[in-house]
Amino acid sequence: MDWGLDKVAVVCAFQRSLRDIAELYGCESSLCGIEEYRRCSGLQSISSICFKASRFVAILIDDGIEFDKKHEIEWHRNFAPVVDKIYSLKSIAAYRSGLEINTKVTRNEAQVGLDEVLHAGSPARITNKNFIDYLFMQSLEVALQFDLPMQIHTGFGDKDLDLRLSNPLHLRMLLEDNRFSKSRIVLLHASYPFSKEASYLASVYQQVYLDFGLAVPKLSVHGMISSVKELLELAPIKKVMFSTDGYAFPETFYLGANRARKVVFSVLRDACIDGDLSIPEAIEAVKDIFTENARKFYRINLDVKHFDSKTNISNNFKKMETDALQPDVALVRIIWVDASGQHRCRVSYLSISIFSNFWVQILTSLEVWQTMRKLCQLSELMLMDSTSAI
């Protein structure tokens, strides 16, 4: 976007990110303060700080994107061993011609499209739909042949993207094609603002998976939580994955990891309180979303030691049985300490069942909050990626 910093600075996510980065670095919470810290510390130092705080156990890097000062892949050996292997292909067809892929496009039609691109002069920008669709179909066939997944950009992005064409529902023709029923396709960026549509596709097509990188941490807190909740409305939990969508700057990786832990905690806590999940089920969901789903989807052969949650869940807050209460109890005395430190007391007529259910909700909420927050904070993350096309 061609916005000045005076406009960017009033975006919720930008202000929140400045505070998060400043807290990590221990510097002044301002753009100038962070820039000064970066200048004095150097790239390798701040990269080490961000990656260590993020606690990644594996990183998938898209090295297809070009930057003026981009380091080669070998530079990352300073932080982790480099595996010389391709784990996925990626498409940004949504940016150029949209997601309504013509699965029957011919080689001749693609050749005509390529000739148009070449005759348009330089710098060439590939936007011809037939050519892009043909490349997409060929890439998907290669991915299937070599047992590789395909990442597909969906939803919002830069201003050169027509949002109307990036709705994942446009992929229906492709998903109905029997040739690709065994493919592994992941829709990136929570497909925002089409998160519900993405959730539906993942629920009805076995080859469709979801990734909420970029939506987290790009949106407001409410937007991030709402988007992830919408993904989980229909999609199986084992099809929803974390990523940072980090690129260029090490802070983007940290922001994605840090905020994702908080968002997933909030979403799963609410799911427990609402009764959608039990606490043990939510704990398994944390492991799946942050690590296991990506490890299995990308066929990453890596042992991950998860936080042992079983020893951290008490059995004190089991559901209260009202049958044992005396049926003639009609008064309830409540004693508490107010904000001024004074003891207060109130005696009220109260339905036994309402009273019991009220305290079950309070105690369950505390149990969920304590357990899920600890698990999300200690969880190690499997996946991050940068934004580009291969």
Strand stretches in the chain, DSSP E: 89-91, 150-152, 185-187, 208-211, 213-214, 240-241, 331-337, 343-349
Q: Is the pLDDT of residue 68 over 80?
A: no
Average pLDDT on 209-223 reads: 97
Question: Is the domain of 296 the same as that of 347?
Answer: no
pTM exceeding the 0.75 threshold for the entire prediction = yes
CATH of the domain at 226: 3.20.20.140
CA–CA–CA angle 85, 383, 57 (5° rounding): 85
Least confident of 129-133, 156-160, 176-180, 237-241: 156-160
Residues 354, 265 share a domain: no
Alpha-carbon distance of 174 to 325, in angstroms, equals 60
Whether 129 is in a domain gets the answer yes
Q: Tell me, what amino acid is at 38?
A: R
Q: Is residue 279 part of a domain?
A: yes
Q: Which domain holds residue 343?
A: 311-372
- Number of domains composing the chain: 3
Residue 368 is predicted with a pLDDT of: 61
Q: Which amino acid is at 259?
A: R
Domain termination site, one of 307, 334, 359:
307
Q: Would you place residue 388 in the very low, low, confident or very high pLDDT band (cuts 50, 70, 90)? A: very low
Measured CA to CA, the distance from residue 245 to residue 234 in angstroms comes to 23
The token pair at 171 is 């992929």
Alpha-carbon gap, residue 390 to 65, rounded angstroms: 8
pLDDT at residue number 358: 58
DSSP characters over 39-102: HHH-HHHHHHHHHHHHTBS-----TT---TTPPPGGGGGGTSPPP-----EEE-HHHHT-S---
Domain co-membership, 24 together with 65: no
Pairs from 7-11 (Cβ < 8 Å, separation ≥ 24)? none
End-to-end CA distance of the chain: 24
**Which has the closest alpha carbon to 353: 319, 305, 378?**
319
